[in-house]
Every structure is written in structure tokens, then in C-alpha cells.
Amino acid sequence: MTEYSFQSPHDKEDEMGTRFLAFGLTLLGAQTLGAQTRLSGAGTCAKPDVTHTIAVGDRPNHTFTISQTRCRWTKPFAIAGLRSKGGTAVQSDEVSDSTSQFHGYFLDIMTDGNQAHYRYVGTTALKDGAPQNATWNWLFVGGTGKLKGLRGSGGCRGTWIANGVSAWECTGSYQLPK
């Protein structure tokens, strides 16, 4: 069997240039953002309002699902003097036997009506097809009003308590432009 390589001789140079560009942009961004502020909070998500599941067909228990659910904070994040109330999560899962890999977006509505926008990715442990616990990382990818330019990151862990409802705790930090 013959192997073909499609790697350009300039790929290493391009990769190095991309790394330096990313590092430079990181330094530039650090100069325009304020100090990092720590966050912690907890909440619950209801059973999804909308769910669509499609079997892959290559083996049993291998599916893709997209869902939308409402979440609320029981211990809100405090961001720039605003408290998070809750919002809507849209998520895609690849389920395979005992795990589900997921990613999604969460639009969090603050007490003044502005929004914080998150992107997240994580893993759920399953037992007999039912979710048991999950861990995920999140990034702030923007916001509206006072939260425009919001950046930050953190992690969460969650468990399922009953009837498809999940409870979770999150920590992290954020920065806003000066």
C-alpha cells in the first residue's frame, strides 16, 4: 500500500507563524482587558424542551442529538455588578454506549436584561442510557450592553436529580474591556 503525504514544505513555517500571531494577539488583548474576577455559581436545567435524535446506524447505541433546554441559577454568577438569572442552552451530543460528548451555547439573561454568551464542551457518563454526571469547560464568547466584549473561562460539574433535571456547580473567571 502506498502512502501519500499532502503536507506542504511550508506547513511547519505556517504553523509557527500562526502560533506567533496567536501569541501576539493574546498579548494585545491582555492590554485592553481589565483584571480577571473570580466567579462561582450553581443552578439547574430542566428536561430539554426540544430534542431531535438520529441513530448513526454503524453500531447499537450510537446517536447524535440536538436539544434546547431552559436553565436557571440557584446561586447566580455576579458579573460587573449584574446577577445572572438563567437562559437557554442549545446543545449537540454524540452518544455512544456509556458516554456522551457534547458541545453547545448558553445565552444567560442578566438582571438588567443584558446577556452573557457562553460556549461549552464536555462529557456525560451514562448508565443504562441514562445520564449520571457530567463535567464541562466553558468560555465567555461575548455579551450585550455592559457585558459587550466579555471574556473568561471556567468549568462545571453536574448530576441528574430526577425526571431529566440536572443540577450543576460552576467556577471560573472573567474580564471586561477597560
**DSSP secondary structure, the chain, as one string:** --------TTHHHHHHHHHHHHHHHHHHHHHHB---EEEEEEEEEPSPSEEEEEE-SSSTTEEEEEEEEEEEEEE--EETTEEEEEEEEEEEEEEETTEEEEEEEEEEEETTS-EEEEEEEEEEEEETTEEEEEEEEEEEEEESGGGTT-EEEEEEEEEEEETTEEEEEEEEEEE-B-
- Does residue 39 fall inside a structural domain? yes
Task: Cell numbers for 33, please give them.
Answer: 482587558
Q: Is residue 97 part of a domain?
A: yes
What CATH number should be reported for the domain holding residue 135? 2.40.350.10
- Whether 16 is covered by a domain: the verdict is no
Q: Is the model's pLDDT at 15 over the cut of 50?
A: no
Number of domains in the chain: 1
92-134: per-residue pLDDT in tens? Answer: 999 999 999 999 999 999 999 999 999 999 999 999 989 999 9
Within-domain flag for 138: yes
What local confidence, expressed as pLDDT, does residue 35 receive?
A: 82
* Dihedral (Cα; 78, 82, 88, 91), 10-degree rounding: -40
Band (pLDDT 50/70/90 cuts) for residue 33 is: low
In a domain, 19, yes or no: no
DSSP state of 97: T
Residues spanned by the domain of 145: 35-175
Its pTM stands at 0.79
C-alpha cell read off for 164: 431529566
Q: Note the pLDDT tens digit of each residue in 36-93.
A: 999 999 999 999 999 999 999 999 999 999 999 999 999 999 999 999 999 999 999 9
